């Protein structure tokens, strides 16, 4: 069963009423739903095989016998649901009032799209569409190349340490809004889609929010302490996905931006404790030169002398799984070791350097930035 199938079944139970759900949606088992009863159809095949139930054989490749069986059992097909992944079940899908294509083959995808049937993909997070088996992020990755960003140079190191398959948590430091671009280029080089945890403000922006959701992003309402994003990340990891987190939770401001000791929140460590998947550290350096916190947009006009952005991937963090706070420190230390030596040295910033770390219209207290909880400003 797909890890996302139980939630999909719960959603369908709520939508369909008290009728039981098939224990496995798609993957050769499906079901009719009625108000109080369910007529199971098992082992659907292109050969037209059926299943015995109550001493009767239901042939599913022919619509008429199914209609007769439904009438015999007192089931209203117009108020019933049917789920399938095969185009050969189109007659049966057409026979019910609520057809749903589940992990459809390419031909059923076209039929369901043309007829505006709901399409459910259990191998990607809810809200992520797939066209001919490909999700939007994979399409975007084909065009996500450093040479298409002439206002920055990129240096990558250790990208082979990101697993090519299977779940992993990828953690990185946070210096700029441009970090997401650098990380996206990394995952494009690896050739894997990733589920980013991002602040709710991004998801609330028109168009941008829809794109973030279609890419499988996980919405985080910072400052609330809700476990919902964490559970969504666990589900993604259970599905074998990569999950990317910035443990700092926000871009540091003022003197905190120049602190040689990175301070992280416990979300990444807690997620690692819950799933025991590898935690892969990434050190980012130079992104703030393209898009400082004080600017509303990145500097895309610097084509003659673009800054260099370094993206360095380290080995999996050696966590002990005994104490979340200690493992959080281990994660942040692993990230720090991937940064240039200058990042680990004390630095007294100039007023101009400090100004670049504050957002436009900043009215906070620079002296209390190290105590600020992400999302509370």
**3-state secondary structure labels for all residues of the chain:** CCCCHHHHHHHHHHHHCCCCCCCCCECCEEECCCCCCCCEEECCCCCCCEEEECCEEEECCCHHHHHHHHHHCCCCHHHCEEEECCHHHHHHHHHCCEEEEECCCHHHHHHHHHHCCCEECCCCCCCCCCECCECHHHHHHCCCCHHHCCCCEEEEECHHHCCCCCCEEEEECCCCCCHHHHHHHHHHHHCCCEEEEEEHHHHCCCCHHHHHHHCCCEEECCCCCCCHHHHHHHHHHHCCCEEEECCCCCCCCHHHHHCCCCCCCCHHHHHHHHHCCCEEEEEEECHHHCCCCCCCCCCCCCCCCCCEEEEEECCCCCCCCCCHHHHHHHHHHHHHCCCCHHHHCCCCCCHHHHHCCCCCCCCCCHHHHHHCCCCCC
Q: Measure the CA angle with vertex 119, ends 116 and 121; round to 5°.
A: 165
Phi, psi of 90 (to 5 degrees): -55, -45
The two three-digit tokens of residue 263, written as one number: 């301070």
- Give the integer Cα–Cα distance in Å for 279 and 341: 23
Give the per-residue pLDDT at 351.
Answer: 92
Give the per-residue pLDDT at 32.
Answer: 37
- Give the integer Cα–Cα distance in Å for 164 and 161: 9
Asked if 234 and 271 touch (Cβ cutoff 8 Å), the reply is yes
Tally of residues, the chain? 377
- Give the integer Cα–Cα distance in Å for 210 and 233: 19
For the structural domain made of 137-371, what CATH number should be given?
3.40.1130.10
- The domains of the chain are located at 5-120, 137-371
Alpha carbon of residue 86 to chain centroid: 26
How much is the pTM? 0.75
Query: Which residue from 282, 300, 288 is spatially nearest to 252, judged by alpha carbons?
Result: 288
Phi, psi of 205 (to 5 degrees): -80, 130
Buried/exposed 258-283: b ≥16 CB within 10 Å, e otherwise: beeebebbebbbbbbeebebbbbbbb
- Give the integer Cα–Cα distance in Å for 353 and 357: 7
Per-position pLDDT tens, the chain of length 377: 455 565 666 666 666 554 433 333 333 333 333 333 334 443 333 333 333 333 333 333 445 567 777 787 777 888 888 888 889 889 888 988 889 888 888 899 899 999 999 988 877 777 787 777 788 888 899 999 999 999 999 999 999 999 999 999 999 999 999 999 999 999 999 999 999 998 888 888 888 888 888 888 888 886 666 788 899 899 899 989 999 999 998 999 999 999 999 999 999 999 999 999 999 999 999 999 999 999 999 999 999 999 999 999 999 999 999 999 999 999 999 999 999 999 999 999 999 999 999 998 887 777 666 666 665 55
């Amino acid at each position: 069963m797909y890890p996302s199938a139980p939630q999909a079944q719960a959603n369908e139970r709520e939508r369909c009423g008290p009728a039981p759900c098939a224990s496995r949606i798609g993957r050769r088992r499906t079901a009719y739903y009625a108000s109080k009863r369910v007529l199971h159809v098992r082992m659907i095949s292109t050969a037209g095989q059926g299943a015995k139930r109550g001493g009767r054989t239901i042939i599913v490749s022919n619509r008429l016998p199914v209609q007769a069986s439904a009438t015999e059992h007192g089931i209203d097909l117009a108020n019933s649901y049917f789920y399938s992944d095969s185009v050969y079940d189109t007659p049966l899908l057409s026979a019910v009032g609520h057809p749903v294509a589940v992990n459809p083959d390419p031909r059923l995808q076209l039929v369901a799209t043309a007829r505006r049937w709901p399409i459910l993909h259990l191998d990607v997070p809810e809200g992520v569409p797939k066209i001919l088996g490909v999700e939007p992020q994979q399409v975007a990755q084909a065009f996500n190349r450093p040479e298409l960003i002439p206002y920055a140079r990129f240096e990558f190191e250790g990208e082979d340490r990101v697993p090519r398959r299977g779940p992993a948590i990828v953690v990185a430091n946070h210096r700029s809004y441009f970090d997401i671009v650098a990380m996206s280029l990394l995952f494009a080089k690896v050739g894997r889609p990733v589920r980013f945890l991002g602040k709710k403000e991004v998801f609330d922006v028109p168009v941008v929010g829809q794109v973030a959701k279609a890419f499988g992003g996980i919405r985080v309402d910072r400052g609330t302490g809700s476990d919902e994003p964490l559970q969504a990340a666990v589900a993604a990891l259970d599905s074998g996905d990569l999950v990317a987190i910035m443990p700092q939770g926000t871009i540091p401001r003022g003197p905190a931006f120049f602190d040689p000791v990175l301070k992280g929140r416990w979300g990444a460590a807690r997620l690692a404790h819950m799933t025991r998947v590898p935690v892969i550290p990434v050190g980012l350096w130079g992104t703030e030169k393209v898009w400082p916190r004080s600017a509303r947009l990145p500097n895309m006009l610097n084509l003659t002398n673009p800054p260099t952005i370094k993206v360095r991937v380290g080995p999996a963090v050696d966590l002990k799984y005994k104490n979340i706070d200690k493992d959080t420190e281990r994660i942040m230390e692993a990230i720090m070791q991937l940064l240039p030596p200058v990042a680990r040295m004390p630095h007294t910033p100039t007023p101009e350097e400090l100004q670049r770390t504050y957002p436009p219209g900043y009215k906070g207290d620079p002296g209390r930035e190290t105590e600020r909880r992400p999302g509370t400003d």
